[in-house]
Amino acid sequence: MSPQITSICLQLRHGGVVPGITTQILRVPSLGVGVMLAIEDTDFSIALLQVLVNRVLDDIMHLEPTDWEEIMVTRLFKEGPEKGPAVSSPRPGPASDIVVGRYNNPSYGAMDIQRVPAISQSVGGSHSTVPDELAGVIHSALNSSRFEQIDATREIYYAAMPRFWIQGVIFTHFDGPLFNVSAIMIQDRVDTGTPISRILGTGTAVFVEGKGVGMFEGFWQGNEVIRAVEEDVASHAEVWFDRVK
């Protein structure tokens, strides 16, 4: 569990999520209290759970009521980092062979970045291209995501993340060496067995030819959001992956 220290008490919290269900467990050792909540939703469930957990704590500790719903709605929809101006004439992205390959980080492990073909293409999958079924799932997730709408004419890439709590990350070209990077969760439906997916968060990736790729702008949920840079990327990135193959 992740500890959180407030002015009143120590809280231990841990959450989990699969498509359709989100959970959170909360313990307050000094009060001898434990709470477990589950919500049959994944789109707004994290915010809803925070509202419910905080209301429970307010009640247990006899605190003055706080409008936690308004606070979480503000965080979810009204706040956030300022967006830069849209790029009307984006620079061309790097060639596919510069992006496709194996990358490694000591903590997150290896990831093999593969190209995602357009929906109109059928390539059957290869060492450098994801299978058709997975490509369809990725396109569906991007098109339905509330985070971003993807220009289907631009290059899209995917990498599975075996050590991470999500299934993988999607890279969609933005401008020059800069890519939008999106976390994706993919699981099979219990009733039909068909894959379903959801975009859980976004950030920015910067590719450096022959060297690797750096992750920026809060994707890795650190304490500090680092803006993407194009110089000395490895030393500035929140997380850096070396190109190894």
Read off the pLDDT of residues 142-155 as tens digits, 9 standing for 90 and up. Answer: 777 555 555 556 78
User: Hey, which of 60-74, 98-112, 118-132 has the most confident mean pLDDT?
Assistant: 98-112
Name the strand (E) or helix (H) holding 184: strand 178-188
* pLDDT at position 92 over 80: yes
Single-letter code of the amino acid located at 49 = L
Q: How many other CB atoms are found less than 10 A from the CB of residue 103?
A: 22
Name the strand (E) or helix (H) holding 48: helix 45-60
Per-residue pLDDT, averaged over 124-133, amounts to 67
**What is the rounded average pLDDT for all residues in the chain?**
79
- pLDDT confidence of residue 74: 76
SS (H, E, C) 75-99: HHHHCCCCCCCCCCCCCCCCCHHHH
Encode pLDDT of 179-205 as tens digits.
Answer: 988 888 777 766 777 777 777 778 899
Cα three-residue angle 167-162-48, rounded to 5 degrees: 40
Per-residue pLDDT, averaged over 126-135, amounts to 74
Closest CA to 33 of 14, 47, 12: 12
Q: Residue 83: which pLDDT band, with cuts at 50, 70 and 90? A: very low
Per-residue pLDDT, averaged over 208-218, amounts to 91
User: What are the residue boundaries of the structural domains of the chain, listed by start?
Assistant: 2-77, 96-243
Encode pLDDT of 25-71 as tens digits.
Answer: 888 888 888 888 888 876 677 778 888 888 888 888 888 888 888 88
pTM for this model (two decimals) = 0.69
Q: Are 157 and 164 in contact (CB under 8 A)?
A: no
% of the chain with per-residue pLDDT over 90: 24
Report the C-alpha gap between 169 and 33 in whole angstroms: 37
CA distances to 33, 53, 57, 136 from 11, rounded to whole Å, are 10, 11, 10, 42
